[in-house]
Structure 1
Amino acid sequence: MRASAEGLALGVVLDAVIGDPRRGHPVAGFGRVAAGVERWLYRDSRTAGVLYVGALVGGAGLAGVAVERACRGSVFGTAVATWAVLGGTSLGREGSAMADALECGDLDAARARLPHLCARDPEGLKADELVRATVESVAENTSDAAVAPLLWGAVAGIPGLFVYRAVNTLDAMVGYRNARYERFGWAAARLDDAMNWVPARVTGALVALFGGHGAWRVLLQDGGNHPSPNAGRCEAAFAGALGVRLGGANAYGGLVERRPEMGDGRAPEVRDVRRAVRLSAAVTFAAAGLAAVVAWGRR
């Protein structure tokens, strides 16, 4: 399966201009189907989780093959498929909305928006904690929402776009280490780790290209300290590029995780949220160019 290089680039432009619709988004539809399948298949076992992931990801792959054949690699078909799976513009809008709330000192509004970016418990978070959570989420999701789907589209066409987004969506739904999903969500989490291994490192490298020596240094120094095999590369590169220090205590579902610090700069401030959003957008467009080159080379 080979994607249209022009279609990948046009899909990024469509995402930048249109963004995600509030209703009827294909990924949201997939999420509803996945939730229904979970109710039917759920068992507290890895075997059930493997069946769950296999059925849904396999279905997404078959849908991608069907669309690819119907479109015959057309620019328009690839562009629409790319737009459907990208989330870079929505990520930037959520980051900007958080910046608006924090700049106005409206912590209640900022706490209410945080779940749109990450799974941390927002209740009781202070302004500096909300800032750090936002910058870290923008960093990590730059790979998940933009760089990774573009790279998978470049190497595997429309099926690659659909499969990646399916895996990433399932990880966001069930890939948690808690009582319900420790075993059932294992397959989704591990497959998401595998599919993001290369894109996360490409993201870190692209951030470092924009961020200069400091970003490269922190990426190489601290990128492997994060408990996630992938998120740390993105967050460390952003920390170095922005000249801030990320990491620390995070609360998820009432449980507190203490993560190593990345970077040796100052604590992130409200203004760094908008800087992170701009850096994420720059990396997205750079990734679009890289993906187009890869797709063109394969063609």
Structure 2
Amino acid sequence: MPATRPRAIGLLTGYLADRALGDPRRGHPVAGFGAAAAGLETLTYRDSRGAGVLHVAVLLGALAAGGAAAESAAGRRPAGAAAALAAATWVALGGRSLARTGTQLADLLDAGDLDAARGLLPSLCGRDPATLDADGLARAALESVAENTSDAAVAPLVWAAVGGVPGVLVYRGANTLDAMVGYRSPRYTRFGWAAARFDDLANYLPARVCAALVVACAPAVGGSPAAAIRAWRRDAARHPSPNAGVVEAAFAGALGVRLGGPTPYHHGLEIRPTLGDGDPPGSADLRRAARLSTLVQCAAAALAAGLLLAIGAGRTGR
């Protein structure tokens, strides 16, 4: 069996486990990694880039070593290799929970329960929900669904295909560190620099794969591929993130909505550029975004596994 075939089987099994089970309700390894990172921060924190580099290197180095050890323990047995990657991929993915939470928030907005919607928003993004009305909540949730379709679904699948167990674990760790310390707040402007830059590098290719899949899947939710491409090309570069802007612009164009504008965080207000055309999104648009996210995730899993199988078939044919 070509080495790429167990990897393809493991990747698809991990994806299907996420679709069937979602995130573990208790004892999620990502939460454990976050707790370890927070504990280490009490020792490594200094208001400097060098301290942030050390923080990231220690934590991601540990994940790389652990992932390599797990892959080595699986040995050359195809079933063991597939099982190890399936477990790592499931741990790294958050696609089902993302789409489900987006739909739940849309339901709360339809019911007029803004307090409950504000309580749910922090599970999607780090914005301050206290100042947001219904339109602000819908926009914040849709932007988060768009960005995290890449971060929590497409990127783990890409890194599982490219780097196996170490690759997908290091990616998930990098993304978690960026969410913890990658903010432009007074505390993290320098210390979080390394986490933010590493996350930008790790997401560069996956974000563009995700945007391309948004274009391809747009008609399935009544969207426009041409408008998605136009918004991606015209608006993405104006976003402060080199990757989030690509995916958010593609979603905005595909759904025919306008994203961006004043964006409140706990550390202060940021003014984001406009992405896409049309009206600001509402609950119906958020529900369509959740469906589009689910379709893109499925397409990404099929694409990643298909490429691995094609590579394996090519090697066998030589």
Range class of TM-score, shorter chain: over 0.9
Counting only pairs closer than 5 Å after superposition, residues 260-279 of structure 1 correspond to structure 2 as: 260-279=273-292
Q: Distance in 2 between matches of 1:15 and 1:125?
A: 31
Task: Please state if 1:136 is matched with 2:155.
Answer: no
User: Secondary structure of the equivalent of 2:263?
Assistant: strand
State how many pairs are aligned.
299
Aligned to 2:222: none
Of 234, 239, 257, the match for 2:270: 257
Of 257, 265, 277, the match for 1:244: 257
Task: Please state if 1:25 is matched with 2:28.
Answer: yes
Contact map agreement 2:252 2:276 (CA 8 A) in 1: yes
User: Secondary structure of the equivalent of 2:132?
Assistant: coil
Aligned to 1:78: 85
User: Secondary structure of the equivalent of 2:274?
Assistant: coil
Aligned to 2:66: 63
CA drift at 1:296: 2.6
C-alpha deviations, 1:133-179, integer Å up to 9, x for none?
01000000000000001101111111101000010000000001111
Task: Please state if 1:10 is matched with 2:13.
Answer: yes
Aligned to 1:88: 95
CA drift at 1:297: 4.0
Contact map agreement 2:30 2:91 (CA 8 A) in 1: yes
Q: Distance in 2 between matches of 1:58 and 1:86?
A: 20
Deviates more, 1:108-117 or 1:249-258: 249-258
Of 145, 154, 161, the match for 1:154: 161
Larger Rg: 2
Matched AA of 2:194? A
Counting only pairs closer than 5 Å after superposition, residues 160-239 of structure 1 correspond to structure 2 as: 160-211=167-218, 212-239=225-252
Q: Distance in 2 between matches of 1:121 and 1:84?
A: 27
Aligned to 1:116: 123
Contact map agreement 1:98 1:110 (CA 8 A) in 2: yes
Structure 2-normalised TM-score?
0.91
Aligned to 2:55: 52
C-alpha deviations, 1:167-219, integer Å up to 9, x for none?
00000000011111111111000000011011111111110112221111111
Q: Distance in 2 between matches of 1:295 and 1:184?
A: 37
User: Secondary structure of the equivalent of 1:123?
Assistant: helix
Matched AA of 1:26? P
Q: Distance in 2 between matches of 1:252 and 1:124?
A: 10
CA drift at 1:298: 4.4
In the alignment, structure 1 segments of 5+ residues that lack a partner are: none
Q: Distance in 2 between matches of 1:117 and 1:298?
A: 36
Task: Please state if 1:102 is matched with 2:109.
Answer: yes
Q: CA RMSD in A?
A: 1.3
In the alignment, structure 2 segments of 5+ residues that lack a partner are: 219-224, 313-318
CA drift at 1:280: 0.3
Aligned to 2:315: none
Contact map agreement 1:155 1:294 (CA 8 A) in 2: no
Deviates more, 1:48-57 or 1:248-257: 248-257
Q: Distance in 1 between matches of 2:186 and 2:232?
A: 33
Identity %: 58
